[in-house]
């Protein structure tokens, strides 16, 4: 895919005289970085001129011929040059074009043919990891394994594969579904192989699997140096009228277009040209040789023998021959200082049944440029397959020519006939100028869609509808059919603003200037506050202040928080505003808990945040306990939460709660009944989360701020509360550009939480029509839009309390990447969509499309929008009616006062703004609503050592691994409790965990247990705790099950899976599918178990398996068996299955008499499987590999296996994992070459390729399924 300029002609005539001069001007352009004095003086600098391309392409019969211009650099300059050449009625737009996809069309294959072509490497598409997986057994639980028809290596189509999937070897490939095929296109353009409704598969062949046909036009000179002479020029004026020009400029190309229109297969015509160095001095020497009669080798040799005195006479007195004069005339007609080297070619790719016709069509193209021949220099057409004696060589030449076209390459040669032509502007114009429709035949006009204007503005709405958008926030001017803006701007009425609006445009698309206009217009047309949040820090806030100053003659009603200079005095752990607004206490507390976790998730990242479910749960209940109505408070600070966690960790006590909150007490105290190690690491994860807020000084100040009230209930400390602004005409700016991204987003969520509390006061009155709106505009809004606070509260409920949100981002897909549900909410709840030039996703296109404008057409329109222009979709102003269809908008002019506007601040205004207005605003903001500066004191004694251990650390904790004895196996984590017993429970970790778990110690830097701990390493049951084991036999309190939404069967299933993982189940062996195990429980909620990170599902050898995760084991109060011969703490069931398969496979090897799984080879080295011969020598070592993001792990495994004096076998869960591991080994220089292409299409091929590598740590490879099949055979 590359950027091109598409030109669509009209019937308007071109100004032929100026065209060659414009083309000559391209000669001056250089590759970026190759100019300048430094580059010229650098002896190593290599200046490569940019290449330019003209492309005419037809996708086949009944498809239009389209014209494109491309360039390696300076495409913007090329666009300017084209606009100076072509009439304004010609449509010139920037588009992305995949030339290979246009030429190489998909072929229709049966599933069997698809498998054959895919494994042979004849198809272009490579399936990614998310598009292929291992087949999972779907047979009934009681089915006999022997009755199944296993898929053998090499690939057959499985009758059990899901719809639009196909089995290839040991993988199931996910094809695109038939629904993705357009209904009205006979030859769809597809990238991914697609299943049709007929059961066949459409797929694009690989470039080296096709047989193209084509023509190249060469430069043919009568004499070797006649390339210096001119072809027939484009116009007579450019040659001073001395040479006859072509009859009609563009006529030759018009003829070629007619031929392209008749092509029955995809065909492209290409001209690639590049600046040629000046050959002026060579031309002068050549003319002297012509005059002296020394132009050819024969003349020079004979002349030296026949040289007489007459030949030394003055040249001016000679009578030159007519041919010499003509050659000199044609040399002079060519601009030697500004010429180009050009390749001209046409390539077609035949489809089924079109080869003969295309071959004939290419023959007819050979003479198309004959009218341009000069008397000494001609354009000679040659077929690609003319050279070479063997058909294989001809095929190779044709494919090489296609590659040159796709890569925009220039071929050069020597001799009289060369692949390149040397052309100046007057000649080049004949090959690269799009003719007007007046020069085309009727068929050619129709074929180029010359009368269609593909970038006309979308029609402006019906005038009756327009009248309903004449009051409110101005968004731009509707464009009429001629592209002219209407006189009055379109405005969003106040009653529609609470349905929210979004601006989506790429960088440089005019978002910042539009935001300023939006905020100014809102301030002027609607009552209530305008809140602007800008995380970019690119000067937009300063520019807004200047524009506001100019429009409203001052900044008296503006508050500017430039964080961290002025930090807003938020009070986060404060439910007083919500209670005063009539909010139910329980709901107000839950809001705070949810908002707190939104902020943590934003700071830590979704993945790391989700790693410690128990820590998140503990924090939730601690916050609720501190808000207890009887024993807690309506407001507290971060230090109070810290202290509560500290007491819970050190003293095993929790904040007191009332009887109504007994569930909170039970949920917290149940953790005291756990193994001491488990408890400590859970609290360590709690500490990591609180530390994220404490380590940023600005966030710590905000979260610790607790404004006090006097006896009358009046606040005596600064406090920012949106309630004070709901009915005020004020502008509040939060300028966050000086903060780290995590802090920016956290503070944005803080202010949104504060706003949520404030607007609750409006919820009570039941109104939806407010005189004063709260107008919120957030720049770079995608991260916060993905949170529950925005997507599930503010957006869907905003209308009920007069909140208007303007979310500004590059494209909505940024939200989808973080949260699919939030993305749906954004599309559904933002009713006004303003879209600039972006690559628009299909969902958004479909939400904008209507019966006269398909999603594809809309996407094409948006992709070619000029910078600053918008397409608008507005909601209906009347309930139950349809809003106007999308239409084009010209942006509002840059607001006066902006430095880039036509009316920037005058010098006196600028002086007053800088010296008076802005300083007063800053001082007023800080004095009334900013946090007062505080002197940072040393941390309290109880805070020292936060998140780190006082013990001597034995391992780095950056990756959250458990500490261990240096002599112990690195992969077996054992934590020693105070009585010397060993715990193998997987700790709950965060990536940033600083805890030293080699010896269990307090996360807060103090010993984990006191001398009063009961003997035996088991803590006493707390007096206020609940019984951990219920009468049902389930080791989890019923209250906790209710809180989690889990059933007794959920817990029983978890326990049963853990039994199988530990090989402690009498009924099920590890290699049996867990699908039947799942079916034994009626009240099972797998989705809830996975959502709470208690359970993970996966597959191995085509069967379904489940893994009980650390949080699940903690819930059960049980451990995963780990150690030599048993396994690894972090191991999942599919890996255990792979190890077991390797173990059984090694037992079948002739030289192996004993096999040990998880064998500790030496200190710090554990082999998944080890095989020994009859004298006890280690002869085989094996590793089972699953997909992983850690590319260093396979290299470490290889080094481990290569150190073993024996053979090494690797087992992979999927073929893709095998390829990734082999790539990582090749990148690390452990193996000589990658395994790719046809060698990577099946495990059998991979195994053969590995055998050829002869690598020390890689004797052979198997797939899990291959091992299973070998064992069963």
pLDDT in tens, 1179-1233: 999 999 998 877 788 888 898 898 888 999 999 988 888 988 998 898 888 888 8
Separation of alpha carbons 577 and 760, rounded Å: 9
Question: What's the pLDDT at 242?
Answer: 57
Query: Lowest mean pLDDT: which of 39-48, 57-66, 1199-1208?
Result: 39-48
Separation of alpha carbons 423 and 978, rounded Å: 88
Separation of alpha carbons 163 and 159, rounded Å: 10
Separation of alpha carbons 433 and 416, rounded Å: 27
Query: Lowest mean pLDDT: which of 82-86, 443-447, 886-890?
Result: 443-447
SS3 441: coil
User: Distances from the Cα of 132 to the Cαs of 161, 173, 236, 1092, in angstroms?
Assistant: 12, 5, 63, 26
Which regions of 694-814 does DSSP assign to beta strands (E)? 731-735, 774-778, 803-809
Separation of alpha carbons 1000 and 973, rounded Å: 12
Six-digit token string for 22: 């414009």
Does 1237 or 375 have the greater pLDDT score?
375
The per-type count for the chain, helices as H runs and strands as E runs, is 44, 36
Question: What's the pLDDT at 136?
Answer: 63
Per-position b or e across 1098-1108, b if 16+ CB within 10 A of its CB:
bbbbbbbbbbb
Residues of the chain with CATH 3.40.50.300: 463-564+727-890
Query: Lowest mean pLDDT: which of 244-253, 671-680, 754-763, 975-984?
Result: 975-984
Q: Give me the mean pLDDT over the 964-974 stretch.
A: 31
By residue count, the chain amounts to 1273
Query: Residue 630, class by beta-carbon neighbours within 10 Å (0-12 exposed, 13-18 middle, 19+ buried)?
Result: exposed
Q: Position of tokens 């004694």?
A: 941
The DSSP-derived string for 558-624 is: EEEEETTTS-B---SSB-HHHHHTT--HHHHHHHHHHHHHHHHHHHH-HHHHTT-HHHHHHHHHHHH
Alpha helices in 54-123 (DSSP H): 75-85, 99-103, 111-119
Fold adopted by 1133-1272: Trna Endonuclease; Chain: A, domain 1 (3.40.1350)
Torsion region of 1102: left, alpha or beta (phi above 0 gives left; psi -120 to 50 gives alpha): left
Query: Residue 891, class by beta-carbon neighbours within 10 Å (0-12 exposed, 13-18 middle, 19+ buried)?
Result: buried
Question: What's the pLDDT at 280?
Answer: 93
Query: Lowest mean pLDDT: which of 245-259, 350-364, 936-950?
Result: 936-950
User: Distances from the Cα of 1112 to the Cαs of 50, 927, 937, in angstroms?
Assistant: 61, 51, 41
Question: What's the pLDDT at 799?
Answer: 84
> Given a cut of 60, is residue 943 above it in pLDDT?
no
> Please, what is the Cα angle at 1094 between 949 and 960, to 5 degrees?
25
First-last CA distance in the chain: 48
Six-digit token string for 382: 């040659």
Q: What confidence tens digit (pLDDT) does each residue in 701-746 have?
A: 889 999 888 877 777 788 888 888 988 999 999 999 888 888 888 8
- Torsions phi, psi for 1235 (to 5 deg): -105, 110
Per-position b or e across 1221-1241, b if 16+ CB within 10 A of its CB:
bbbbbbeeebbeeebeeebbb
Confidence of residue 1165 (pLDDT cuts 50, 70, 90): confident
Confidence of residue 367 (pLDDT cuts 50, 70, 90): confident
Of 206, 207, 194, nearest to 111 by C-alpha is: 194
Six-digit token string for 718: 């600064």
Q: What confidence tens digit (pLDDT) does each residue in 192-233 have?
A: 899 988 889 999 898 888 889 999 999 999 988 999 999 887
Of 997, 1008, 985, nearest to 957 by C-alpha is: 997
Report yes or no: 1065 and 1055 within 8 Å, Cβ to Cβ.
no
**Residues near 88 by Cβ (< 8 Å), separated by ≥ 6?**
none
Of 500, 543, 487, nearest to 520 by C-alpha is: 543
The DSSP-derived string for 652-672 is: -------GGGHHHHHHHHGGG
Q: What confidence tens digit (pLDDT) does each residue in 535-544 have?
A: 988 889 999 9
Helix axes 697-704, 638-651, angle to 10 degrees: 90
Q: Position of tokens 């180029």?
A: 448
Q: Give me the mean pLDDT over the 79-99 stretch.
A: 87
Fold adopted by 1038-1116: Arc Repressor Mutant, subunit A (1.10.10)
Does 1248 or 868 have the greater pLDDT score?
1248
Confidence of residue 73 (pLDDT cuts 50, 70, 90): confident
Question: What's the pLDDT at 301?
Answer: 60
Query: Residue 15, class by beta-carbon neighbours within 10 Å (0-12 exposed, 13-18 middle, 19+ buried)?
Result: exposed
Question: What's the pLDDT at 248?
Answer: 59
Helix axes 511-525, 540-552, angle to 10 degrees: 30
Q: To the nearest whole number, what is the mean pLDDT of the chain?
A: 80
Question: What's the pLDDT at 552?
Answer: 95
Question: What's the pLDDT at 590?
Answer: 92
- Is the peptide bond preceding residue 564 cis, with omega within 30 degrees of 0? yes
In this structure, the number of other CB atoms found within 10 A of the CB of residue 1263 comes to 29
Q: Position of tokens 């005019």?
A: 510
Report yes or no: 537 and 738 within 8 Å, Cβ to Cβ.
yes
Highest average pLDDT, of 46-60, 601-615, 794-808, comes from 794-808
Query: What number of CA atoms fall less than 13 Å from residue 547's CA on the CB side?
Result: 28
Six-digit token string for 351: 């489809």
Separation of alpha carbons 929 and 18, rounded Å: 65
The DSSP-derived string for 248-262 is: STTHHHHHHHHHHHH
Per-position b or e across 1027-1047, b if 16+ CB within 10 A of its CB:
eeebeeebebbebbbebbebb
Report yes or no: 812 and 481 within 8 Å, Cβ to Cβ.
no
Six-digit token string for 599: 């902020």
> Given a cut of 70, is residue 635 above it in pLDDT?
yes
Report yes or no: 260 and 56 within 8 Å, Cβ to Cβ.
yes
Query: What number of CA atoms fall less than 13 Å from residue 1016's CA on the CB side?
Result: 4
Report yes or no: 783 and 602 within 8 Å, Cβ to Cβ.
yes
Query: Lowest mean pLDDT: which of 385-399, 650-664, 886-900, 1198-1212?
Result: 385-399
Handedness of CA 89, 95, 100, 106 (dihedral sign): negative
Report yes or no: 826 and 503 within 8 Å, Cβ to Cβ.
no
Confidence of residue 961 (pLDDT cuts 50, 70, 90): very low
Does 242 or 28 have the greater pLDDT score?
28
User: Distances from the Cα of 273 to the Cαs of 232, 347, 374, 433, in angstroms?
Assistant: 18, 17, 20, 13
CATH (one of 3.40.50.1820, 3.40.50.300, 3.50.50.60, 1.10.10.10) for 463-564+727-890: 3.40.50.300
Residues of the chain with CATH 1.10.10: 1038-1116
Q: Give me the mean pLDDT over the 7-12 stretch.
A: 81
Question: What's the pLDDT at 215?
Answer: 94
Question: What's the pLDDT at 243?
Answer: 62
Question: What's the pLDDT at 602?
Answer: 83
Of 878, 861, 848, 144, nearest to 469 by C-alpha is: 878
Q: What confidence tens digit (pLDDT) does each residue in 796-850 have?
A: 988 888 899 999 998 888 888 788 888 888 888 999 999 987 767 777 788 787 7
Separation of alpha carbons 1139 and 1167, rounded Å: 10
Confidence of residue 264 (pLDDT cuts 50, 70, 90): confident
Q: Give me the mean pLDDT over the 347-356 stretch.
A: 87
> Given a cut of 60, is residue 773 above it in pLDDT?
yes
Separation of alpha carbons 543 and 535, rounded Å: 15
Of 664, 600, 602, nearest to 638 by C-alpha is: 600
Report yes or no: 739 and 747 within 8 Å, Cβ to Cβ.
yes
β-strand pairing of 377-383 with 213-221: antiparallel
Question: What's the pLDDT at 1009?
Answer: 36
> Given a cut of 50, is residue 982 above it in pLDDT?
no
- Bridge partner residues of 478 (DSSP): 889
Q: What confidence tens digit (pLDDT) does each residue in 562-576 have?
A: 998 999 998 899 998
Confidence of residue 934 (pLDDT cuts 50, 70, 90): low
């Amino acid at each position: 895919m590359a950027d091109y300029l598409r030109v669509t002609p009209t019937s308007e005539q071109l100004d032929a005289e100026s065209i060659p001069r414009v083309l000559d001007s391209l000669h001056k352009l250089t590759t970026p970085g190759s100019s300048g004095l430094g580059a010229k003086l650098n002896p190593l600098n290599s200046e490569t001129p940019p290449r330019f391309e003209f492309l005419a392409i037809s996708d086949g019969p009944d498809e239009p011929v389209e014209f494109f211009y491309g360039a390696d650099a300076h495409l913007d300059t090329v666009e300017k040059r084209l606009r100076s050449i072509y009439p304004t009625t010609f449509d010139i737009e920037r588009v992305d074009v995949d030339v290979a996809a246009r030429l190489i069309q998909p072929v229709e294959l049966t599933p069997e043919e698809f498998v054959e072509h895919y494994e042979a490497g004849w198809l272009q598409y490579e399936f990614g990891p998310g598009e292929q997986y291992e087949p999972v057994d779907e047979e009934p639980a009681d089915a006999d394994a022997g009755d199944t028809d296993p898929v053998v290596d090499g690939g057959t189509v499985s009758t059990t594969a899901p719809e639009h999937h196909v089995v290839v070897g040991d993988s199931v490939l996910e094809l695109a579904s038939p629904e993705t095929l357009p209904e009205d296109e006979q030859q769809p353009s597809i990238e991914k192989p697609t299943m049709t409704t007929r059961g066949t598969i459409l797929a694009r062949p690989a470039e080296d699997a096709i047989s193209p046909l084509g023509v190249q036009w060469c430069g043919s000179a009568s004499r070797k140096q006649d390339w210096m002479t001119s072809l027939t020029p484009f116009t007579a004026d450019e040659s001073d009228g001395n040479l006859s020009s072509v009859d009609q400029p563009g006529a030759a190309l018009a003829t070629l277009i007619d031929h392209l229109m008749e092509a029955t297969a995809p065909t492209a015509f290409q001209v690639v040209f590049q600046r040629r160095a000046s050959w002026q001095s060579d031309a002068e020497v050549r003319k002297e040789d012509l005059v002296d009669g020394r132009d050819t080798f024969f003349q020079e040799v004979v002349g030296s023998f026949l040289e007489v005195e007459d030949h030394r006479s003055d040249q001016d007195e000679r009578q030159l021959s007519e041919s010499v004069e003509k050659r000199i005339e044609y040399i002079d007609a060519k601009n030697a200082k500004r010429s180009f080297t050009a390749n001209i070619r046409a390539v077609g790719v035949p489809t089924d049944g079109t080869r003969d016709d295309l071959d004939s069509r290419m023959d007819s193209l050979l003479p198309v440029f004959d009218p341009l021949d000069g008397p000494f220099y001609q354009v000679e057409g040659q077929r690609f397959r003319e050279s070479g004696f063997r058909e294989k060589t001809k095929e190779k030449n044709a494919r090489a020519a296609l590659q040159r076209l796709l890569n925009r390459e220039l071929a050069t040669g020597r001799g009289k006939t060369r692949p390149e032509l040397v052309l100046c502007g007057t000649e080049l114009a004949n090959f690269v100028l799009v003719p007007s429709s007046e020069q085309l035949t009727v068929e050619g006009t129709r074929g180029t869609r010359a009368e269609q204007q593909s970038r006309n503005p979308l029609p402006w709405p019906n005038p009756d509808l327009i009248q309903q958008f004449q009051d409110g926030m101005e968004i731009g001017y509707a464009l009429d059919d001629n592209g002219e803006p209407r006189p009055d701007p379109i405005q969003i009425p106040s009653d529609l603003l609470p349905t929210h609006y979004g601006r989506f445009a790429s960088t440089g698309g005019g978002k910042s200037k539009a935001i300023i206009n939006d905020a100014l217009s809102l301030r002027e047309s609607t009552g209530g506050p305008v809140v602007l949040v800008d995380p970019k820090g690119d000067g937009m806030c300063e520019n807004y202040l200047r524009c506001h100053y100019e429009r409203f003659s001052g900044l008296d009603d503006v508050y500017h928080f430039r964080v961290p200079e002025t930090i807003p005095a938020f009070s986060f752990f404060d439910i007083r505003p919500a209670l005063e607004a009539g909010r139910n206490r329980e709901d107000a507390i839950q809001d705070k808990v949810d908002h707190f976790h939104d902020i943590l998730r934003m700071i830590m990242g979704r993945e790391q945040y989700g790693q410690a479910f128990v820590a998140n749960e503990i924090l939730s209940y601690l916050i609720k306990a501190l808000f207890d109505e009887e024993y807690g408070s309506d407001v507290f600070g971060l230090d109070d939460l810290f202290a509560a966690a500290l007491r819970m960790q050190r003293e095993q006590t929790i904040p007191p709660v009332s009887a109504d909150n007994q569930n909170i007490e039970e949920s917290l105290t149940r953790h005291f009944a756990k193994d001491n190690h488990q408890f400590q690491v859970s609290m360590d994860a709690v500490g990591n989360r609180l530390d994220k807020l404490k380590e940023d000084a600005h966030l710590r100040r905000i979260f610790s701020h607790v404004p006090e009230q006097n006896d009358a209930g009046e606040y005596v400390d600064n406090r920012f509360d949106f309630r004070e602004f709901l009915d005020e005409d004020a502008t509040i700016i939060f300028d966050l550009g000086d903060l780290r991204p995590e802090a920016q987003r956290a503070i944005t969520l803080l202010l949104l939480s504060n706003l949520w509390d404030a607007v609750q006061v409006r919820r009570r009155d039941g109104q939806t029509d407010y005189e004063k709106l709260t107008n919120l505009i957030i720049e770079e809004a995608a991260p916060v839009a993905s949170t529950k606070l925005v997507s599930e509260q503010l957006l869907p409920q905003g209308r009920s309390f007069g909140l208007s949100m303007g979310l500004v981002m590059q494209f909505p897909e940024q939200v989808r990447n973080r949260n699919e549900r939030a993305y749906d909410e954004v599309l559904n709840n933002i009713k006004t969509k303003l879209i600039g030039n972006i690559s628009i996703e299909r969902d958004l296109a479909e939400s904008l499309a209507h019966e006269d404008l398909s999603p594809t057409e809309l996407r094409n329109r948006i992709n070619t929008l000029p910078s600053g222009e918008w397409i608008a979709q507005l909601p209906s102003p009347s309930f139950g009616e349809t809003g106007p269809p999308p239409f084009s908008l010209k942006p509002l002019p840059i607001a006066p006062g902006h430095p880039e506007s036509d009316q920037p601040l005058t010098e006196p205004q600028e002086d007053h703004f800088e010296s008076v207005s802005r300083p007063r605003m800053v001082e007023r903001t800080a004095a009334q609503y900013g946090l007062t500066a505080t002197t940072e004191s040393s941390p309290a004694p109880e805070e020292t050592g936060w998140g780190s251990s006082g013990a001597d650390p034995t391992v780095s904790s950056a990756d959250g691994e458990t500490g261990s004895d240096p002599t112990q196996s690195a992969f077996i984590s054992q934590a020693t409790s105070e009585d010397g017993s060993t715990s193998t429970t997987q700790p709950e970790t965060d990536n940033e965990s600083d805890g030293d778990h080699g010896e269990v110690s307090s996360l807060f830097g103090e010993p984990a247990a006191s001398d009063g701990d009961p003997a035996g390493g088991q803590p006493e049951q707390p007096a206020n705790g609940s019984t951990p084991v219920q009468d049902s036999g389930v080791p989890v309190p019923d209250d906790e099950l209710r809180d989690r939404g889990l059933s007794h069967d959920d817990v029983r299933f978890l326990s049963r899976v853990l039994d199988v993982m530990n090989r402690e189940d009498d009924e099920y062996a590890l290699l049996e599918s867990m699908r039947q195990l799942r079916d034994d429980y009626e009240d099972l909620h797998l989705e809830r178990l996975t959502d709470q990170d208690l359970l993970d599902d996966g597959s191995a050898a085509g069967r379904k398996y489940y893994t009980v995760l650390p949080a699940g084991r903690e819930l059960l109060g049980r451990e995963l068996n780990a150690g030599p011969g048993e396994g690894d703490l972090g191991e999942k069931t599919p890996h255990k299955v792979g190890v077991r398969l390797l173990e059984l496979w090694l037992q079948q090897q002739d030289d192996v008499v004993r096999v040990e799984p998880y064998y500790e080879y030496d200190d710090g080295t554990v082999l998944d499987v080890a095989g020994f011969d009859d004298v006890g020598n280690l002869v085989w070592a094996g590793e089972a590999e699953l997909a992983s993001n850690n590319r260093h792990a396979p290299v470490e495994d290889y080094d481990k296996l290569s150190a073993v004096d024996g053979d090494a076998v690797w087992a992979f869960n999927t073929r893709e994992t095998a390829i990734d591991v082999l790539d990582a080994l090749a990148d690390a220089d452990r193996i000589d070459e990658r395994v790719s292409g046809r060698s990577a299409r099946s495990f059998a091929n991979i195994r053969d390729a590995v055998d050829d590598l002869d690598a020390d740590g890689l004797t052979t490879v198997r797939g899990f399924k291959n091992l299973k099949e070998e064992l069963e055979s």
